[in-house]
Structure 1
Amino acid sequence: MHSMKRAFFWLSGAGTETLEKCPAWEQRKYVAFGATVLVPCAFAFIACAYALSTLTDNARVIYPVAAVWAFIILTIDRALLAGYRPYMSLVRKLSQFSLRLVVAVLMGITIAHPLVLLLFRDTVSSVIEKDRAAEIEVVRGGFQTEKEKVRGQITTLETAIAEQRTKWNESFQAKFILQENEDASSAIPGLTAEQQTELKAAIDEATAPFRERLAVVEKQSDEYNPQYAKLQTELGFWQAEFERELNGQRSGMRGEGPRARSIRADQLEPRREESKRLGGLLEHLTAEKSTLQTQARQAEAGAIKLFETKLAEIAAANKAEADRVAGLKQKVENDQAEQFVTQQNSLRDTIKQQIDTRLAELNRVQGELAAVATEETDRLAALRAEPRRDILTQTLALHALFQAGNEGGQFAFYTYIVLTLLFMLVDTIPLIVKFFTKPGPYDTLVDRDELTFDTEHRAFRQSRTRYMDQLASGNLIAVTRNQRLENALVDGVEHTRAAREFLDSLVEMEKAFAEKMKLEEQNIGVAESDKRAALEAIKKRFYQDLNHRMEVFFSSRQAPEGV
């Protein structure tokens, strides 16, 4: 119990030896002072621990640092109490209290602010989460703009690819630049109506197999072209659906999920294979059509040639002219067919290269869209994962709450002010209690000791000045060249002066005592022997005490060694 009391004495900034000379009630007062120092220390530990908990969850860091901070607050409060002196002028007392109050208020705010944040933790957390949601919406809007830009590029590329595919389809529907509907009567001029009918029948008989097959090929082409166009339309639709699945616009899952894989496996790949098959088939039919038309024309030429042989009675000039015209026509038709096939093949190769280039560009842009979606997901996940528990973020959120006047912000602000003032009052309570407490015996003893030391210091300064003045006017200036001699001389002079003053005070005391005793002896009657004996005992005790003082004084004033 005694050691605990000494600990509270130490906390109050008081000297244990001096307090033990004071009454018990004075000691209890300083025990209470020490207990008030522990209050802001405990608040400092809680506030620092909470502030550190917003930065780290490591208990090995939080509690040691909080303990150090609490010890710092304890030391500062103890220094403020130890440096306060009640026996001063009012101006100095107020200036000293004001300075220490400023320090105490600053320390109080430092301690009170984290505690207020702790009390408003739920409200501050809701404001922080609201700000986080607003920031997430801003980030999401920025990424949405970027994705819309990429989607615009995708739409442009898809339109260009569709146009090239249309040109590819049209290349299978082209016609030769020939006179396919030419009248048979013009093959050989000068024929009669009967000869023309016979010639037409021969031509029809010779070209019948090719015309039938050509009709079949044209029928198949007419059937396959709408199928191919429809397949291209469906392929474009499912390609768009597949891209929306990748972007998460339908299922909400970004990347190639189950539905995206299903679309690719069940819709895109079969249609791509079917499109490839129909394209090859149309290309084959076009080539076959060209071949049949050439063979039909050759058969027609052969029929005409056979018919011309039968017409021997026709003049040689007409026959020669007919042969020349037929040969020239055949040559032109063959040249046109070859040029057409070459041109169409070259055109299809060009269109295929353009389609492949735009498909590669489309894949790249789709990759950019997927990268933007991934970046958006990562950014939003990072925003949601941010702890936002640091003191600055919570303080800004608290101030934002104060500014929301129509949503209870003023009430929160007034509550914050009241709690802050309350915590500041608790943190500065040791100094306030000390200031408004009446000075007691301990303060009197401390003030007496300080006054004694101040007086002795002033006396030493005066004596030193007087000694130096005498030294400068005397013949002992050379003594100052030897520090030991100077110290001995100064000590001897001071001892001599002190002894003289001491003896003068004893003589004055003895004279006053003798006069007092003489007056008392004169007032004692003859029958008052007991009183006279008491006076004799007092006189004996006085002179014994006087002699003891002289012995103690001169025994403690020994000359220094070596002098």
Structure 2
Amino acid sequence: MNRSNPFKRLFFWLSGAGTETLEQCPNWEQRKYVAFGATVLVPCAFAFIACAYALSTLTTNPQVIYPVAAVWAFIILTIDRALLAGYRPFLSWWRKLSQFSLRLLVAILMGLTIAHPLVLLLFRDTIQTVVEEKRSSEISQERAKFTIAKDKVRETMDGLEKKIAALQEERKLSYSARFIIQEKTDAASAIPGLTAEQQTELKAATDEATKPFRDRLDIVNTQSDELSPQYAKLQTELGFWQAEFERELNGQRSGMRGEGPRARSIRADQLEPRRTEAQRIGSLLEHLSTEKATLQTQAREAEKGAIASFETRLAEIAAANKAEADRVAALKQRVEEDQATSFTEQQNAVRSALDQQIDTRNLEFKAAQAEIAAIATEEQKRISDIQAEPRKDILTQTLALHGLFKAGSEGGQFAFATYLVLTLLFMLVDTIPLIVKFFTKPGPYDTLLDRDEIAYDSEHRAFRESHQRYMQKLAAGNLIAVTRNKRLENALIDGVEHSRAAQEFLDSLIEMEKSFAAKIKLEQDEAFNAGPEKIAALEAIKKRFYEDMQHRMEVFFAGQHA
């Protein structure tokens, strides 16, 4: 039988088929398995490309990228080859379907592992844009975080600056001496030119002095206001009835001159009562006017008296202020004379304490400046670290691709569709050999392989049945107790086996000797008339046979004894 060329044998190996068995099959069967082997190389090549790109996101060393990618491609090749080699067409449909489902699941996983890096490679620029946008967002967040920290430090610095300014101002004030002086009432603005408080006090005094007169004056004014309208009304009515009376006297109304009945009636009923009432009210108004003038005069006199009393009090206040000023002047002089040294020491101590506080605040201010400088340095370092991050690893790019999928109409749908198409493509490529095997009629190779497997299964089944019968016989005998001693068990088994072997050997020798004796006797009977040469040859054969039998017995039993 001609051996296939090495190239074809390589594809036989890739298809997971046995080369020796395939070489017994027709050429068309061999070509089919060469095609199966070629389909295994396709996902292997894509796996190499995908793994190489995935590793390129982690390192740029080709001594790492290509060997690892080759190992990954070999793993994919081995898995695909194992899937093809493990498929058996002579099974029930249920077992074939379950077997194919398991291989389909493996194909899905392999398709995902191969398609994912290739999708990342196809959308590398877009993914890099998404990654950079996320990087910019992180930088903005970091800057905002550090800005908050710097603002807090700046607030602390502003507070320290205010405290330092207040302490410095307090230190300046320590150079001026202050004395406790009693509050005095200033009389410099006595009448005229009173202060607002003095004006209020003077008004209160004059109001109190003139209050009785003003109260009575208010009553008089009220009564005068009530009587004046009545008096004016009476005067008007008197004028009217006086005119009517005169017209009656002149005869203008009744035509009678002189005082007639109607004229007397007007005088008695209208004029005289009104004249009497007018005189009475006029007297009251005159009295009220006189009283009003008197009250006004008395109020002015009371006001003058209050002002005079207030002027006297102002003079007393001025004298008290002068005495207080003299006391303060004497106190100042005594302090300057008796306590100048202690006052200076006290002020020096105050200034020293203020200087210490100012120095402490300055140190705190410098520490705050150093802190804000450290925050700025840390911010710059953090931003530099973020900018220096390559962010080309698979996880980062996968998250960016996921964000691209969410973009929807902005390209995410196209990216997701591409991802699905590539995954389905690699699943299809990886499952094509299985699909072809699943739906095609078993060929000669499958028949030969199934025959070998059936023969092996039959031999294995026969061995198990034989071993089971042997164990049953052993359990039924009396030697089962011997098996509790391992050495004795081994010796017994060895002896039994040797005895059985010797018995079988002797039986075979006896059978062979009987057969030889029968045949040699027939030959001797036929050679009786043939001549002495044939008889001698038969004797030599007979002698050689028995010598050989003797030698076999010696060798066998010598080996058994050993």
- Normalising by the smaller structure, the TM-score range is 0.5 to 0.7
CA gap of 1:468–1:162, structure 2 versus 1, over 3 A, is closer
Q: CA deviation at 1:8?
A: 0.9
- One-letter amino acid of the counterpart of residue 37, structure 1: V
**Secondary structure of the residue that 2:59 maps to in structure 1?**
coil
Aligned to 1:389: 392
CA gap of 1:15–1:483, structure 2 versus 1, over 3 A, is farther
Asked whether 1:413 is paired with 2:416, we answer yes
- Supply the distance in 1 between the matched residues of 2:167 and 2:151 (Cα, whole angstroms): 24
Superposition map of 1:101-500 within 5 A: 101-171=104-174, 174=176, 333-335=336-338, 337-338=340-341, 341-405=344-408, 407-459=410-462, 461=464, 482=495, 484-485=497-498, 488=501
Aligned to 1:76: 79
Aligned to 1:56: 59
**Secondary structure of the residue that 1:482 maps to in structure 2?**
helix
- Pick one of 3, 6, 9 that aligns with 1:3: 6
CA gap of 1:483–1:330, structure 2 versus 1, over 3 A, is same
Asked whether 1:31 is paired with 2:31, we answer no
- One-letter amino acid of the counterpart of residue 22, structure 1: C
- Supply the distance in 1 between the matched residues of 2:107 and 2:401 (Cα, whole angstroms): 24
Q: CA deviation at 1:360?
A: 1.2
- Pick one of 18, 38, 41 that aligns with 2:21: 18
- Supply the distance in 2 between the matched residues of 1:450 and 1:381 (Cα, whole angstroms): 67
Q: Name the larger-Rg structure.
A: 2
List per-residue Cα deviations over 1:270-321 (Å, max 9, x = no partner).
xxxxxxxxxxxxxxxxxxxxxxxxxxxxxxxxxxxxxxxxxxxxxxxxxxxx
Q: CA deviation at 1:115?
A: 2.1
Q: CA deviation at 1:12?
A: 0.8
CA gap of 1:340–1:25, structure 2 versus 1, over 3 A, is same
Aligned to 1:562: 556
**Secondary structure of the residue that 1:562 maps to in structure 2?**
helix
List per-residue Cα deviations over 1:433-455 (Å, max 9, x = no partner).
33334432222222232233334
- Supply the distance in 1 between the matched residues of 2:503 and 2:465 (Cα, whole angstroms): 13
- One-letter amino acid of the counterpart of residue 357, structure 1: T
Of 402-411 and 354-363, the range deviating more from structure 2: 402-411
List per-residue Cα deviations over 1:45-102 (Å, max 9, x = no partner).
2222222222233322222222222111111111111111222222221122112222
- One-letter amino acid of the counterpart of residue 97, structure 1: F
Q: CA RMSD in A?
A: 4.0
Retained in 2: the 8 A contact 1:154–1:365?
Answer: yes
**Secondary structure of the residue that 1:127 maps to in structure 2?**
helix
- Supply the distance in 2 between the matched residues of 1:337 and 1:459 (Cα, whole angstroms): 130
Retained in 2: the 8 A contact 1:177–1:336?
Answer: no
- Pick one of 38, 47, 71 that aligns with 1:44: 47
Per the normalisation by structure 1, the TM-score is 0.55
- Supply the distance in 2 between the matched residues of 1:101 and 1:327 (Cα, whole angstroms): 115
> Which consecutive residues of structure 2, in runs of 5 or more, have no partner in the other structure?
182-328, 481-490, 509-551, 558-562
- One-letter amino acid of the counterpart of residue 556, structure 2: G
Q: CA deviation at 1:370?
A: 0.7
Retained in 2: the 8 A contact 1:13–1:81?
Answer: yes
Retained in 2: the 8 A contact 1:108–1:428?
Answer: no
Q: CA deviation at 1:379?
A: 1.2
**Secondary structure of the residue that 1:87 maps to in structure 2?**
coil
List per-residue Cα deviations over 1:140-186 (Å, max 9, x = no partner).
111111110000000011111122222334445x368799xxxxxxx
Retained in 1: the 8 A contact 2:116–2:419?
Answer: no
- One-letter amino acid of the counterpart of residue 82, structure 2: A
- Supply the distance in 2 between the matched residues of 1:363 and 1:32 (Cα, whole angstroms): 80
- Supply the distance in 2 between the matched residues of 1:72 and 1:143 (Cα, whole angstroms): 49
CA gap of 1:155–1:353, structure 2 versus 1, over 3 A, is same
- Supply the distance in 2 between the matched residues of 1:471 and 1:328 (Cα, whole angstroms): 137
Superposition map of 1:469-548 within 5 A: 482=495, 484-485=497-498, 488=501
Q: CA deviation at 1:35?
A: 1.0
Retained in 1: the 8 A contact 2:119–2:418?
Answer: no
- One-letter amino acid of the counterpart of residue 113, structure 2: T
CA gap of 1:169–1:462, structure 2 versus 1, over 3 A, is closer
CA gap of 1:167–1:87, structure 2 versus 1, over 3 A, is same
Retained in 2: the 8 A contact 1:77–1:431?
Answer: no
CA gap of 1:460–1:360, structure 2 versus 1, over 3 A, is closer
Aligned to 2:515: none
Q: CA deviation at 1:422?
A: 1.7
**Secondary structure of the residue that 1:439 maps to in structure 2?**
coil
Aligned to 1:275: none
- One-letter amino acid of the counterpart of residue 482, structure 1: G
- Supply the distance in 2 between the matched residues of 1:150 and 1:490 (Cα, whole angstroms): 107
- Supply the distance in 2 between the matched residues of 1:124 and 1:451 (Cα, whole angstroms): 56
- Supply the distance in 1 between the matched residues of 2:332 and 2:382 (Cα, whole angstroms): 73
List per-residue Cα deviations over 1:3-49 (Å, max 9, x = no partner).
11111111111111121222222222211111111111112222222
Q: CA deviation at 1:427?
A: 3.0
- One-letter amino acid of the counterpart of residue 36, structure 2: F
- Supply the distance in 2 between the matched residues of 1:360 and 1:421 (Cα, whole angstroms): 70
Per the normalisation by structure 2, the TM-score is 0.55
- One-letter amino acid of the counterpart of residue 139, structure 1: E
- Supply the distance in 1 between the matched residues of 2:342 and 2:478 (Cα, whole angstroms): 141
Q: CA deviation at 1:373?
A: 0.9
- Supply the distance in 2 between the matched residues of 1:27 and 1:385 (Cα, whole angstroms): 56
- One-letter amino acid of the counterpart of residue 152, structure 2: K
List per-residue Cα deviations over 1:431-482 (Å, max 9, x = no partner).
3333334432222222232233334444555566677778999999999663
- Supply the distance in 1 between the matched residues of 2:454 and 2:355 (Cα, whole angstroms): 110
> Which consecutive residues of structure 1, in runs of 5 or more, have no partner in the other structure?
180-325, 496-557
Retained in 1: the 8 A contact 2:115–2:419?
Answer: no
Of 416-425 and 146-155, the range deviating more from structure 2: 416-425
CA gap of 1:21–1:486, structure 2 versus 1, over 3 A, is farther
Retained in 2: the 8 A contact 1:480–1:486?
Answer: no
CA gap of 1:429–1:352, structure 2 versus 1, over 3 A, is same
